[in-house]
Amino acid sequence: MNTALIVGAGTGSRTKLNQSKILLEIHHKPLFLYSIETFLELGYDIVLVVSKSDYETIKSLIPSSVTLVIGGKTRGESVMKGLKEVKTPYVFIHDAARPLIQKHKIEEIEKALSVHDAILLAEPMTQALKRFENGVLKSENRENFIQSQTPQAFLTEKIRYAYLRSEQTYDDDIGLYQAFYPEESVFVVMNDEPNLKVTYAKDLVLVESLMNQGNRLRIGKSFDLHRLIEGRPLILGGLKLPFSKGLLGHSDADVLLHAIGESMLGALSLGDLGTFYPDTDPKYKDANSMDLLMDIHQKIKDKGYEIVNIDATVFAEYPKLNPYILKIKENISQHLSIKADQISVKATTYEGLEAIGRGEAMAAEAICLLRRKIT
């Protein structure tokens, strides 16, 4: 049996997020769990090294069979603390922020360990490589270079010995190993499959896309209907339109903005308008629906998404809305800070049928497409 020593004790400061990056969720699962589950399915012992601040949260999320260790101030200290808990002859040291590692690559490394004491997983260099030193630019042959990945696998006692006696910082575990065993060769397993390490916020979106589970794009749809009554202003798309009747509702009853807002909420499964703006709350009495729409838009942005486009249709017998469509589109696009060509507003009648056709009501339908924002 082998051990996977998974290291996730860093601060993740380069992601510029308000939480540890290994706790960020992809498809409703924390980032670090993906690699843990991959190694567990192969029958590995797991030692997981995390920061003190994440310890209790992660403890509640992992199987009891996983050994949880609080890391040190540096990656080297964290690896050393984890190595003290390893009891198997071989150890695979892996970054918790690399969720895409494939089982067959781990198995390929396993086979190489039957002959070698140190294995590097690496990807080929695919871009032109330059060296810029002392103001001089030189071209290098990229075929002579590879990019290091994890897991990196070792005979446990050898890598533990190196860490116990190391007083320097190295770029990775292989670098340390080579410093202590310069006469030994390191076997390289090439990997041309995605094994991205999440370093920046945009990397999370790329990983999510590579997992190909369709969560980058989200679509929502909504339909809303309000009675038309005398004695109320007609507010539509955030504009006051000249008409003898207005829409009945707790707020200003802007049926178009209600449909658009609820489609945005629906795209991320956040609920309906009543969830956030109940008609039982006096605070929303005669509320400006454009304010509510902008609040919904902020919720969308807080989730890391942006609007791709909105397609809306208003169903009304009267008044005739075509003269106002362009102004309504411009008003909505300005308040949502999107381009006018990202929103479509159409109007149609009910051909004299039912309550809408009799001029007793007005309705709207909207579809909104969101996408995960790459920042």
Domain ends where: 165, 191, 210?
210
In tens, the pLDDT along 336-364 reads: 999 999 999 999 998 889 999 898 999 99
Total-model pTM: 0.63
Q: Output the domain CATH number for residue 106.
A: 3.90.550.10
**What are the residue ranges of helices labelled H in 84-220?**
103-113, 156-165, 173-180, 201-210
Q: Are 223 and 258 in contact (CB under 8 A)?
A: no
199 and 221, same domain (yes or no)? no
Domain with 137 in it: 3-210
186 and 235, same domain (yes or no)? no
> How far is the C-alpha of 218 from the C-alpha of 175, rounded, in Å?
43
152 and 276, same domain (yes or no)? no
Q: What is the average pLDDT across 64-91?
A: 95
| Residue 286: predicted pLDDT | 85
| Residue 289: predicted pLDDT | 93
Tell me the β-bridge partners of 133.
136
Count of the separate structural domains present in the chain: 2
100 and 199, same domain (yes or no)? yes
What's the distance, Cα to Cα, between the start and end of the chain in Å? Answer: 41
308 and 195, same domain (yes or no)? no
Q: Are 350 and 317 in contact (CB under 8 A)?
A: yes
300 and 238, same domain (yes or no)? yes
246 and 205, same domain (yes or no)? no
Domain ends where: 179, 210, 241?
210
Residue type for 128, please? A
238 and 336, same domain (yes or no)? yes
Q: How confident is the model at residue 40 (pLDDT cuts 50, 70, 90)?
A: very high
Q: Are 290 and 254 in contact (CB under 8 A)?
A: yes
304 and 162, same domain (yes or no)? no
In tens, the pLDDT along 304-338 reads: 889 999 999 999 999 999 999 999 999 999 999 99
What are the residues whose beta carbons fall under 8 Å from the beta carbon of 315, sequence distance 6 or more?
Answer: 347, 348, 349, 350, 356, 362, 363, 364, 365
Q: Output the domain CATH number for residue 309.
A: 3.30.1330.50
204 and 130, same domain (yes or no)? yes
Domain ends where: 149, 183, 210?
210
Q: Are 299 and 356 in contact (CB under 8 A)?
A: no
205 and 221, same domain (yes or no)? no
| Residue 213: predicted pLDDT | 47
106 and 69, same domain (yes or no)? yes
